[in-house]
Amino acid sequence: MTLPPLALYIHIPWCVRKCPYCDFNSHNAPDALPQREYVEALLADLDRDLPLAQGRPLRSIFFGGGTPSLFSPDSIARILDGANARLAFAPGIEVTMETNPGTVEHGDFAAYRRAGVNRLSFGVQSFDDAALKRIGRIHDAQQAERAIKRAQDDGLNNLNLDLMYALPQQTLDGALADIDKALAFDTPHLSHYQLTLEPNTQFAANPPPLPDEDSAWDMQEACQARIAAAGFGHYEVSAYARAGGESAHNLNYWHFGDYLGIGAGAHGKYSSIDESGALQVWRRWKVRAPRGYLEHAKSERVIGGDDPVAVEQLPFEFMLNGLRLTGGIPLTDFHATTGLGSDAIRPQVEEALRRGWLAPQSDRLQPTESGQRFLNDLITLFLPEKGGET
Amino acid sequence: MELIRNFSIIAHVDHGKSTLADRIIQLCGGLEAREMEAQVLDSNPIERERGITIKAQSVSLPYTARDGKTYQFNFIDTPGHVDFSYEVSRSLSACEGALLVVDAAQGVEAQSVANCYTAVELGLEVVPVLNKIDLPTADIDKVKEEIEAVIGIDATDAVAISAKTGLNVVEVLEAIVARIPPPKPRDTDRLQALIIDSWFDNYLGVVSLVRVMQGEIKPRDKLLVMSTGRAHEVDSVGVFTPKRLAKDALRAGEVGWVTASIKDVHGAPVGDTLTLANKPAEKPLPGFQQMQPRVFAGLFPVSADDYPALREALEKLKLNDAALVFEPESSEAMGFGFRCGFLGLLHMEIIQERLEREYDLNLITTAPTVVYEILRTDGTVAPLDNPAKMPAVNYIEEIREPIIVANILTPPEHIGSVIKLCEEKRGVQRSINYMASQVQISYELPLAEVVLDFFDKLKSVSRGYASMEYHLERFQAAPLVRVDVLVNGDRVDALSLILHRSNADRRGRELVEKMKELIPRQQFDVAIQAAIGAQIIARSSVKALRKNVLAKCYGGDATRKRKLLEKQKEGKKRMKQVGNVDIPQEAFLAVLQMDK
């Protein structure tokens, strides 16, 4: 057995203001961000995780949040330099930073670039000021447009734009207008999510009036067609890319690769091989609250949990990720990342074929059009009968 | 025997019977204050939640009265719901007197009236008690007048109390001593003991609550159960204080418990007579009836694997419930389950709830139906308790439905809406009497129209004031049709209903609309139709679901996503797959939710 490729996720847990739909680990930023302490904490955190890398180089790094662009280019540079001093970077490593308009439009993208960032993901969400207001964003359309242009002017062309649809009071025309504006920037990547009400968010407690299921579906179909017509491939449930513009970091998640997760509340997934040659998959996560994280960063207590994934959970976890890819995933990836043979999933695969959710291919697990639409039902087939805790 | 007083309390559900019972037990020192769990006699958790009593229970208490003598009070609690009127009459038969507890702010209600009539017919001394006189809206004189007008007993000496504050409760105890007669001595000592109630205990087998009319019961006596002809040796006897206290014998006039290694409650049916095998009584006590279920429904496990567990659970419940009957039923749509008979809808709901809660079963209950009579063209008459089993129309000469007589009491201001309700339910008025501040209306109604939601509706059209009791009168031919429900073109046998032709179309439409609301969207359109024979009378459809996908998933916390999907899966598991359509439990009972 060989270990899967390795990526690094870095979490920056602060935002200017938390959005009402957001269920990520983000917190309203204090007046003075403790950038220096947090950078030190991240590197100490990484030191503790280093043995999990087992000599593998990093294929990608992703700064997520929160709003990583609240950190100065200098802080980002220190993190990346620190990472590079500890782990080898694979040639052509992708380094993405999530960026929120309203925090960076006057910022120095060239400085981030010099720090090592070579891809930005903009949380645009919409180009309609009224819609942005309804979902509690701090920026307006003009700020978003200015930020994207500025990044491109500074030579950062490898961009993703995040858009959301089925926003409160949004119409089909409104959703398409957002797509057209986004396409005009000619970025290699677009993400297009349906707004969903997640538990423990302001919106869940106090739901805004959302377009009904059928309108949301109409938006999805129309937008999907518009994006495809512009030359993008629809390669994952919510992700679109021009040829070669796919997100290497996200593909690693969907291929059930390994990743270290550092920062407050960050989750990592890694594999180990025991003396008998058997593969074991683990999940390790870090203390969630920024204050607690900073406090414990230099001790073992920063680890919130480090658990083996039960072997009966592996097929589900693999499918949860892999079947999101419209092109599906080679069966060999299943063997390589779970250590399991085809027998472990045979009845479920047969059921999925019978229901027309998987395409009949011997070497690949690929969802059909209906499998993509009813992906939850498809991957639910792989849930173990008695869902034990892991 | 001179010092024994056997009595019941007749009261409407919320007129304060349990509170008064608690006070009496407390005053007689039956339980230490710290042992008093509120309302000790309603012991089953479902009874307590619903504020009703299902099983009769009793308590024997010593009371030292003002005359200096110590009396033995045997208080026999009675079930308080219309579904359980037979048990009430058995409890009353065991007593010489009854307290009629009336809420002084609300007045008399029909169930109490019916029970009071039963008590008077059985020769009991009825002592009126006006409760809740601490309420500002209490009107003692008006309620006294009402008791005299409606029930026809003298209320001059009614005891006015507040069970809640304890005010005057001691006067109730003195009235029991002074006004309720002691048991009458009999001229023979051949044992006759009335079974007031029986229940199954895991350790003791069946425990029977009995009233010894004559003779006595001692351990090791050979008891004969007169209706079954079976003999059992007595293990032990005793009284409830309310704790179970063993005694050397139960003597004439006394109330207490008997155990005799009887395996289930059918071995000691309520209302039956116990005597001694070697020296039997000449004849049993009057009034014994086999329990007759009035309402039938199918109970099916959602997962076919649970069928044996459901059988076992029903068998266990039947040990303790003489009114529950069941037999295997197989349905094309639902697979294997049981056709169950109940006393009424409340009884059905309680059984269903116990099966789900105590036995952790996931069940589908089909629409309840009354028992019809079918006169076939060959002249034979057979009962029909399952619409799916209705013979083809060309074999049916006529279908007869059960008709009840309902006696309703309502304040005059609601009489219009009560009459309207009865007319809507195909009622025929028999009489209407204005009595003091209430009106008594008597209607003949088809039982089928009453079992579903009549009580709830009666309450809602009268702001909670109207009350009713009913008894079965006869079977009567009516133009009844079977309405079938088709899901994606296939008839679902478990959803068939028998309806009156005059409202079949409207009810059919309401039913498909309600089902449309209750069936979740699936991966394809679901057509729902109602039909009489080949004629479609209503149709509707549940549009296909467009997608079921998580918008985002980036490594991170897989546990949360898993839990979300596990929840979706659990939700599906609670639905029954009929053909390839997932139908939730509630949709099978949509008929109960119509026009609400």
Question: pLDDT, tens digit, for every residue of B241-290?
Answer: 877 889 999 999 999 999 998 888 888 888 899 999 999 998 998 877 77
Contact (CB<8Å) B523/A370: yes
CA-to-CA distance for B367 and B591, rounded, in angstroms?
7
Q: Nearest CA to CA, how far is B474 from chain A (Å)?
A: 53
A-chain CB neighbours of B545 within 8 Å are 213, 374
Lowest mean pLDDT among A53-62, A379-388, B311-320: A379-388
CA distances from B200 to A8, B116, B254, B269, B323 (A): 65, 30, 22, 12, 14
Does residue A57 contact residue A6 with C-beta atoms inside 8 Å? yes
Contact state of B553 with A283 under an 8 Å Cβ cutoff: no
> Residue B1 corresponds to which tokens in the numbers above?
């025997």
Correct CATH for A6-252 of 3.30.70.120, 3.20.20.70, 1.10.490.130, 3.40.640.10: 3.20.20.70
How large is the average pLDDT for residues B75-94? 77
B263 and chain A: CB distance < 8 Å anywhere?
no
DSSP A16-78: SS--TT--SS-EEPPSS--HHHHHHHHHHHHHHHHHHHTTPPEEEEEEEES-GGGS-HHHHHH
Give tens-digit pLDDT for A263-276.
999 999 999 999 99
- Segment A138-158 shows an average pLDDT of 95
Are B10 and B98 a contacting pair, CB within 8 Å?
A: yes
Distance CA B42, CA B54 (A): 8
The ipTM is 0.91
Secondary structure class of B593 (helix, strand, coil): helix
Question: In terms of Cα–Cα distance, which of B54, B340, B343, B353 is closest to B197?
Answer: B54
Query: Over pLDDT 70: what percentage of chain B?
Result: 94
Distances (CA, A) of B86 to A159, B295, B322, B471: 79, 16, 12, 11
Please indicate whether, in this complex, the C-beta atoms of A377 and B523 are within 8 angstroms of each other.
yes
Neighbours of B413 (CB within 10 A): 11
Q: Are B546 and A387 in contact (CB < 8 Å)?
A: no
Stretch B46-52: mean pLDDT = 51
pLDDT at B79 over 70: no
Please report the number of interchain residue pairs, chain A to chain B, with beta-carbon separation below 8 angstroms.
78
- Mean pLDDT score across all residues of chain B: 88
> Are B551 and A316 an interchain contact pair (Cβ–Cβ within 8 Å)?
no
pLDDT at residue A388 in the model: 42
C-alpha to C-alpha distance for B506 and B516, rounded to whole angstroms = 16
Phi, psi dihedral angles at B65 (to 5 degrees) = -85, 180
pLDDT of residue A105: 59
In angstroms, the separation between the Cα of residue B547 and the nearest Cα of chain A is: 5
Q: Name the residue of chain B whose CA is nearest to A261's CA.
A: B556
Per-residue pLDDT reduced to its tens digit, A24-33: 999 999 989 9
pLDDT at A390: 39
CA B211 to chain centre: 23
Nearest by CB to A383, from B523, B547, B569: name it.
B569
Quick count: other Cβ atoms within 10 Å of Cβ B60? 23
User: Considering CB atoms only, which of A253, A317, A383 is closest to B554?
Assistant: A253
| Whole-number pLDDT of residue B465 | 78
How many helices (H) and strands (E) in chain B?
15, 34
Helix axis angle for B307-319 and B345-358, nearest 10°, is 120
B32 band by pLDDT with thresholds 50, 70 and 90: low
Q: What residues of chain A have any CB closer than 8 angstroms to a CB in chain B?
A: 9, 193-196, 213-214, 216-217, 220, 237-238, 250, 253, 259, 261, 267, 269, 283, 285, 313, 316-317, 320-321, 324, 370, 372-377, 379-380, 383, 387, 390
User: Tokens 């898993």 sit at which residue?
Assistant: B562
Strand A89-99, strand A58-65: pairing: parallel
Residue B532 CA to residue B538 CA, distance in Å, equals 10
Among the partner-chain residues A216, A259, A376, the one whose CB lies closest to the CB of B555 is A259
CA distances B39 to B16, B31, B198, B201, B242, Å, are 10, 12, 21, 21, 12
Range B376-383 average pLDDT: 95
On whether the CB atoms of residues B221 and B267 are closer than 8 A, the answer is: no
Q: Measure A351 CA to nearest chain B CA, in Å.
A: 14
Contact B454, B446 (CB under 8 A): no
Q: How far is A375 from chain B (nearest CA, A)?
A: 5
Q: Give the other-Cβ count within 10 Å of B281's Cβ.
A: 21
Q: Give the number of other CB atoms < 10 A from CB of residue B132.
A: 23
Interface mutation vs chain B, best among A373, A378, A382, most B CBs within 10 Å: A373
CA distance B588 to chain A (A): 24
Q: Is pLDDT at A78 greater than 70 in this prediction?
A: yes
Above 70 in pLDDT, residue B14?
no
Residues of A in contact with B565 (CB under 8 A): 376, 379-380, 383
Q: Are B372 and B384 in contact (CB under 8 A)?
A: yes
Tell me whether residues B547 and A379 touch, CB distance under 8 A: no
At A389 the pLDDT is 42
Cα separation, B143 vs B130, in Å, equals: 8
Which of A196, A324, A374 has the CB atom closest to B523's CB atom? A374
Tell me the pLDDT band of B51, cut-offs 50, 70 and 90. Answer: very low
What ranges do the domains of chain A cover? 6-252, 313-380
- Does pLDDT of B321 surpass 90? no
Which of A289, A319, A300 shows the shortest CA–CA distance to A44? Answer: A300
CA-to-CA distance for B11 and B18, rounded, in angstroms?
9
Evaluate the CA torsion angle B124, B130, B132, B134 in order and state its sign.
Answer: negative
Find the mean pLDDT for residues A37-45: 97
Rounded distance, CA B481 to CA A327, Å?
55
Which chain A residues are closer than 8 Å to B305 by Cβ? Answer: none
Q: How many residues belong to chain A?
A: 390
Chain A contact set for B569 (CB, 8 A): 380, 383
Residues in chain B: 596
Please answer yes or no on whether B562 and A320 come within 8 Å at the CB atom. Answer: yes
Split at pLDDT 50, 70, 90, the class of A387 is: very low
- pTM of the complete model: 0.72
* Closest to A126 in 3D by CA, of A187, A59, A74, A171: A171
Of B348, B288, B259, B264, the C-alpha closest to B54 is: B348
Tokens, residue B163: 């069970």
Distance, CA of A178 to CA of A126 (rounded, Å): 6
A313-380: same fold as A6-252? no
Per-residue pLDDT for B174 more than 80? yes
Contacts of B298 by beta carbon, 8 Å cutoff, 6+ apart = B329, B331, B334, B337, B338, B339, B340, B364, B365, B366, B386, B494
- CB B212 within 8 Å of CB B253: yes
User: Is B573 an interface residue toward A (CB < 8 Å)?
Assistant: no
- Quick one: which H or E segment has residue A272? strand A267-273
Model confidence pLDDT, tens digit, residues A190-216: 999 999 999 889 999 999 999 999 999
From the list B549, B556, B558, which residue is nearest A376 (CB)?
Answer: B549
Give the β-pairing of B205-214 and B192-201. Answer: antiparallel
Task: Report the residue from B546, B558, B568 with minimal CB separation from A317.
Answer: B558
**B residues 501-530 closer than 8 Å to A (CB):** 521, 523
Contact list in A for residue B558 (CB cut-off 8 A) is 283, 317, 320
The distance of B528 to chain A (nearest Cα, Å) reads 20
| Residue contact A217–B546, C-beta within 8 A | yes
DSSP3 helix / strand / coil % (chain B, rounded to 5): 30, 35, 35
What does the alpha-carbon distance between residue A380 and residue A348 come to, in Å, rounded to a whole number? 10
pLDDT in tens, B524-577: 999 999 999 999 999 999 999 999 999 999 877 788 899 999 998 888 888 888
Structural class in CATH, domain A313-380: mainly alpha
Asked if residue B585 has pLDDT above 90, the reply is no
Residue B39 banded pLDDT, cuts 50, 70, 90:
very low
pLDDT band at B56 (very low <50, low <70, confident <90, very high): low
Q: CB-CB: which of A238, A269, A320 is closest to B561?
A: A320
